[in-house]
Amino acid sequence: MQNWERLTRQANKAYSNHDYSDSIELNQQALQQVEQSFDDDFHQDAESVVAAAAVSFLNIAESYTALGDFLSANTQYESAVNFLQAVIVRPDMDEDQRGLIMRTATHIRFEWELFSQSHSKHVMAQSKALMRSITNVVTSQATMVRH
């Protein structure tokens, strides 16, 4: 967890300096640290490791939002919920740990709802632009194959 804390402090500093791309990269490294040691750390201190994962996902989403990449920010909220859903089905979890996961998931869903209320138009516009881009690539590849 010490490496996660160091990376998160660096990411927060980058965010404060408006270096959102660096913040994303550092938070992704921090999240990777949590994921790699999750099994061991979860049994030692479930609350800290779950909080660390949630903080990393939310920080990444916030940095993407600051960059105006609303689609990627939305994906981070979704990834956070999916991560917690994968954790909650573990057979080695007690009721307190399950409650912790549920409370954390509720908090992330609340944050995601706030994000969605504020940025749903941007998410939809970027999603449509991405679909148009994919359609154009597929169409041009199909045209090249025919010729």
User: pLDDT value at position 136?
Assistant: 74
**pLDDT computed for residue 106 by the predictor:** 96
Question: What was the pLDDT predicted at 13?
Answer: 98
CA distance 120 to 129: 14
Q: What is the pLDDT of residue 2?
A: 86
Whole-number pLDDT of residue 60: 98
DSSP state of 94: -
Q: Is the pLDDT of residue 50 over 70?
A: yes
In this structure, how many other beta carbons lie within 10 angstroms of the beta carbon of residue 59? Answer: 22
Confidence of residue 125 (pLDDT cuts 50, 70, 90): confident
CA 133, chain centre distance (Å): 24
Q: What are phi and psi of 111, to 5 degrees?
A: -65, -40
Residue for token digits 């956070």?
A: 80
User: According to the CATH classification, is domain 2-120 in 3.40.50.720?
Assistant: no
Residue, of 51 and 2, whose pLDDT is higher: 51
Q: What is the pLDDT of residues 85-102, one digit of tens each?
A: 999 998 888 899 999 999
